[in-house]
Amino acid sequence: MQKSIGDVSKEIGVSIHTLRYYEKIGLLPHITKDEGGRRRYEPKDIDRVRFIKRAKRMKFSLSEIHQLIRIETAELIDKPQAQKLISEKLQEVEQGLIDLMNLKKDLSGMLNACFKSGDNHDCPIIESIKDNKETP
């Protein structure tokens, strides 16, 4: 059963603008239109939008999602390419976890310094952010 762009937007939780954009950049195939020029989404189109949304939740970029779609739609699935893409994403997530743990440690230290200072005239949190040099 075909659905309108508004119905798909509500059902999946993406904006109409986003759906049009996905079609424009090729993440979605050209969506058929009815005689009034309104987009009509087939079940396969809706499944693709769900795939894109799930991949985005998994922190894949639109470019990476393009790659996943190319792998999915190829006559022969390029398993090593898929493995490489997922392996790279896993490394990115692992680094992000390390970064988040370091951020947690820094924020906890700042908050503890603020509680210990007892002084309402300066803020160790702000001073700590000012003094902290970026490390590559």
Nearest of 23, 65, 58 to residue 41 by alpha carbon = 23
Please report, in angstroms and rounded to a whole number, the separation of the first and last CA atoms in the chain. 52
Using CA atoms, how far apart are residues 71 and 82, in angstroms rounded to an integer?
A: 7
3.40.50.880, 1.10.1660.10, 3.40.630.30, 1.10.10.60: CATH of 1-77: 1.10.1660.10
Is the pLDDT assigned to residue 135 strictly greater than 60?
no
Over residues 72-95, the pLDDT tens digits come to 877 777 778 888 999 999 999 999
Mean pLDDT along residues 61-65:
95
Using CA atoms, how far apart are residues 97 and 80, in angstroms rounded to an integer?
A: 25
Report yes or no: 8 and 46 within 8 Å, Cβ to Cβ. Answer: yes
Nearest of 62, 58, 56, 63 to residue 89 by alpha carbon = 58
Domain boundaries, the chain: 1-77, 92-136
* pLDDT greater at residue 52 or residue 75: 52
Report yes or no: 66 and 27 within 8 Å, Cβ to Cβ. Answer: yes
